[in-house]
Structure 1
């Protein structure tokens, strides 16, 4: 992905060192590799900015893997013969930044995106070394492409899901592109105007820098471990507000 002149200048003039960070992009396209993914086209702009700033990145297409449906860390323990999700989950946990990219179908994020979020949810009961939920201290964002309305709707759903799991969401943590409603050109199609769209390029740039800034801040100090530790809550001596009994 070739960045525009201003994007390149931002990278060259940056006084910040992000070289200790890493990022995972989950491209939740419905297309298996090597078929062209328009969502990946937009992802690669964010990836190019991160890599220009020394961040280690990887793009994963879940649709290329044999991922089981479910909400547990390893679904082979639940009757599935094969589950390729655990290695992906490990990479997610090792990364400081997670960006989920999705196309729009029927106004919603893709079915693959829903599955990915469900599998991420399956790890949400795990704890970090501070007794907080394991996703604390990581940042999340999303990128959306399509030929119909729904960018903001999809972004709301994805970003809510990530923050509910424990991810920290920076300002303007989403960006997207939609072409003409209906069977018009997609993002990477010749003459679509997608890669040149100033609004999309600006928002993708802002999202990426905000993700990098916040990830760097959290890398240094994390989320303070006070008032949010599941281990402390569960081990408290006085439990004077039990769950109500329903009759």
Structure 2
């Protein structure tokens, strides 16, 4: 590929509350972003989290605490093998889905691990989010998701979110076919299509920059060596 993205990989976590992936409106917008990446040679995997057994808990592998099955450790390996992570979530009652919260909590349980450079384990990767819904809250949901991802170590590039919102109240959701309309609901929305495109490209650019640089610079951000550099204990707060 001319843009050099063919060695990159991305994982999308669909945090829909629909059990059947085919019924997920969030999946449809995820696939718009994933399609942009695939067209540039990025290896993309989309995981529908409700197809997996993911118990709640701030522990890496909950089978160690007596839970019969925990699929998250295998999902975690897939995430750590990827350059790009995108969390997709619907909006319910103005906030992200409970599945999205669960995914972030399980990611957080690993956040104390270190990479080969002594940084927190998610360093050197980039992240974004996809939001759909028939109510207000897209920017608030994106704010929560992207804050959480940068806090645990992901690089969040400019405009790393995209969203589609329908009219307030019950009505067609993203991708629904409506009689008399030329396109499924939302597919012709320039605002959503533009932001989805920009998000996908900025995630690819950020991932390539990090890959080409060998990760995020390992200076001043290694938890065990922060006293070895200019640090806050040496500055005078006045």
TM-score of the pair, normalised by structure 2: 0.91
Q: Give the 3 Å change call, closer, same or farther, for CA 16–181 of structure 1 in structure 2.
A: same
Provide the C-alpha distance between the structure 2 equivalents of 1:108 and 1:79, rounded to a whole number of angstroms: 31
CA-to-aligned-CA distance 1:76-117 (integer Å, 9 cap, x gap): 112312111000000000000000000000000000000000
Is 1:230 the equivalent of 2:223?
yes
User: What is the rounded CA distance, in whole Å, between the counterparts of 1:220 and 1:17 in structure 2?
Assistant: 10
Structure 1 moving runs of 4+ over 4 Å: none
Specify the alignment match of 2:36 in structure 1: 49
The alpha-carbon deviation at position 231 of structure 1 amounts to 2.8
- Say which is worse superposed, 155-164 or 28-37, in terms of deviation: 28-37
- Relative distance call for 1:193 and 1:34 in structure 2 (3 A) is closer
Distance 2:61 2:224 in 1: 23
Find 1:36's aligned residue among 19, 23, 34. 23
1:67 aligns with 2:49: no
Over aligned residue pairs, what C-alpha RMSD do you find?
A: 1.6
Query: Aligned partners of 2:205, 2:105: CA distance in 1, in Å?
Result: 27
Q: Does 1:202 align with 2:194?
A: yes
Once the two structures are superposed, residues 55-87 of structure 1 have per-residue CA deviations (whole angstroms, 9 ceiling, x without a partner) of: 000000111111110111111112312111000
* Distance (whole Å) between structure 2 residues aligned to residue 107 and residue 172 of structure 1: 21
Q: Normalized against structure 1, the TM-score is what?
A: 0.87
Question: Deviation digits for residues 227-246 of structure 1, max 9, x if unmatched?
Answer: 00023248x7xxxx7xxxxx
Post-superposition offset of 1:15: 4.2
How many residues are aligned here? 224
Correspondence for 1:134 among 110, 121, 124 = 121
Q: Residue deviations 1:112-171, cap 9 Å, x none?
A: 000000000011011000000010010000000000000000000000000001000000
Partner SS state of residue 102, structure 2:
helix
Q: Which moved more, 1:190-199 or 1:135-144?
A: 190-199
- Structure-1 separation of matches of 2:166 and 2:107: 30
Larger mean CA deviation between 188-197 and 149-158 belongs to 188-197
2:160 match? 173
Q: Which residue matches 2:185?
A: 193
Do the aligned residues in 1 keep the contact of 2:119 with 2:221 (CA within 8 Å)? yes
Gaps of 5+ in 1: 1-13, 242-247
